[in-house]
Amino acid sequence: MLEVQGLCKHFLVGHGPLGRFQHPDHVIRAVDGVSFTVAEGEVFGIVGESGSGKTTLARVVLRLSPADMGSVRYRGAEVFGMDKAALKRFRREVQPVFQDADSTLDPRQHVASILEEPLLIHGVGSGEERRRAIRGVLGQVNLSPSLLSRHPSELSGGQRQRVALGRALLLEPHVIIADEPTSGLDPIVATQILALLLKLRRERSLSLVLISHDLETVAYASDRVGVMYRGRMVEVIGGDYFREGARHPYSRFLLGLDESLGETVLQEGVHEYVHASESGCSYLHSCPHHVHDCHVTAPSLREVAPGHLVACHVVK
């Protein structure tokens, strides 16, 4: 369904005109050679802390930001090579649900207009057909039709997130990329939103890319989990085995499985992107298990058990 291969996104850093000079020390690799696949009907979770590159990855996959290297293929077609018509189909079939619904819902519009807008953009149905579709999706996301006349500011956080999800569903997508869809919500509301996503996935046979910093959420909801650290995918493992079967030192640190990785690890650069001048493993300076190869070459993902990939020179 969705195949990401060797995806890279770099940013220049610095101040003033000299900051634009592409010296290696002035380039950060926000997404650094990430590869993964998402099968039809699969929930693929991506977990990592702030600064790991999750949101940047989502934006590049959605073609909201250009890639510097690598490819994104949807149903076999290269997304960055799509013509206008193919890209419009892609945008209809692959829908985002972003973390902050406030920033994606126009505060000047009523909920009815917000929900109708994507249907108008894609030329879907007559006025009555669009109204019928909106009423139907309100039921699916558990919202009352009485909210259609309200502005986003008059809704609760959970209601706004349901509106954002409903807007994505109206185009009947095949893939939803949900970036921190429950972040900032009350725990009860967050649980409801997650349950709703999984229910819709079953009912519609959706593929779901679920991005979160919440390990429990990702492990519970996902068929497979990808762990990101400083722009790189360091482990891919089945969701059922993630809690106890993770083997990359960073994954084990996140899960509290390796006591030799102390509290200081989190302070030693997890929020820093990889600079282009760096070589070796991105986790090198935080890992107590490093060997000579870790200083020289960045490890690639390799299979250590059926369906279990780890990017580590030490893990066998």
Distance CA 8, CA 4 (A): 10
Query: What is the reported pLDDT for 266?
Result: 34
Choose among 143, 145, 114, 118: nearest CA to 132.
145
Query: What is the reported pLDDT for 101?
Result: 72
Q: Which phi and psi (to 5°) does residue 88 adopt?
A: -65, -40
The residue assigned the tokens 């996104």 is: 9
Query: What is the reported pLDDT for 3?
Result: 95
Q: Which residues of the chain have pLDDT under 50?
A: 19, 258-271, 276
- Beta-ladder partners of 176: 95, 208
Q: Is residue 161 part of a domain?
A: no
pLDDT tens column, 93-125 = 999 988 777 778 888 999 999 999 999 999 888
Range of the structural domain that residue 205 is part of: 2-100+174-283
Q: Is residue 15 part of a domain?
A: yes
Q: Is residue 205 part of a domain?
A: yes
Query: What is the reported pLDDT for 17?
Result: 54
Do 283 and 295 contact (CB within 8 A), yes or no? Answer: no
The structure's pTM equals 0.86
Give the chain's count of helices (H) and strands (E). 11, 13
Q: Is residue 107 part of a domain?
A: no
Q: Is residue 214 part of a domain?
A: yes
Query: What is the reported pLDDT for 205?
Result: 87
Distance CA 141, CA 266 (A): 37
Query: What is the reported pLDDT for 273?
Result: 53
Q: Is residue 25 part of a domain?
A: yes
Q: Is residue 302 part of a domain?
A: no
Distance CA 80, CA 69 (A): 11
How many domains are there within the chain? 1
Do 237 and 229 contact (CB within 8 A), yes or no? Answer: no
Helix axes 111-121, 127-140, angle to 10 degrees: 120
pLDDT tens column, 177-199 = 999 888 777 888 888 888 888 88
- 109: three-class secondary structure by DSSP: coil
Q: Is residue 234 part of a domain?
A: yes
Domain with residue 7: its CATH number is 3.40.50.300
Do 166 and 90 contact (CB within 8 A), yes or no? Answer: no
